[in-house]
Structure 1
Amino acid sequence: MALFGASLSGAGWQKLPSGLIIQWGQVLSNSGGFAPWTFPIAFPNACLQIYATPFVGASAQNFALTMIGNPTKIGVTTACYVSGVQSSVNGQVGVRYMAIGY
């Protein structure tokens, strides 16, 4: 069972025997309208895919997210939009994510 390392928390990860790693967490947008995050652990080789969804922070509605560049082994940044305008209120947009890599 040692091959199944994990940290099962709000920002956590699960390693599978195949080498596949699944990570998740949530962050709030900053005052520039961006939601950067660092994965709980670095992927040894590559991050293959990110799935992100906005959730209610403050009282914003009509969320949209756009990835900025490609994810790295340690993190990624998203731009957060509310009602079609990039967020400029700190903590206005929350982002929940799941990342898969190896």
Structure 2
Amino acid sequence: MDTIFHLDEATKWPTVLSNIPNYLAAAKEAGVSGQVELLINGAPVVDATIGSTIDLKPLVAAGVTVAICHNAMASHHVAEADLQPGLTVVPAGVFELAKRQHEGYAYIKP
């Protein structure tokens, strides 16, 4: 089951950082496979940078695609070189969400 999590509010970091591992554990226990993606747009893109207190390494290591909106990066003056390793920059977060939903991904917004 392909699933995309959407984060556009920095106050939701604790929720998304617990929801995704919980989802992965439940999917594994149920024998359900599929792609999992976290799409970050808006102000939280600054938290995806090197040196942030938000550590995205565990998600990347678990096979989660962590996608960052290029438009939000530009709005918040974040360069691709500033991002934590292993993240994927997408041209527009809203298009990424629509594309994934069109592809059949379940949409979760913590």
For the criterion TM > 0.5, the same-fold answer is: no
More helix per residue: 2
TM-score normalised by structure 2 residue count: 0.29
TM-score normalised by structure 1 residue count: 0.30
More strand per residue: 1
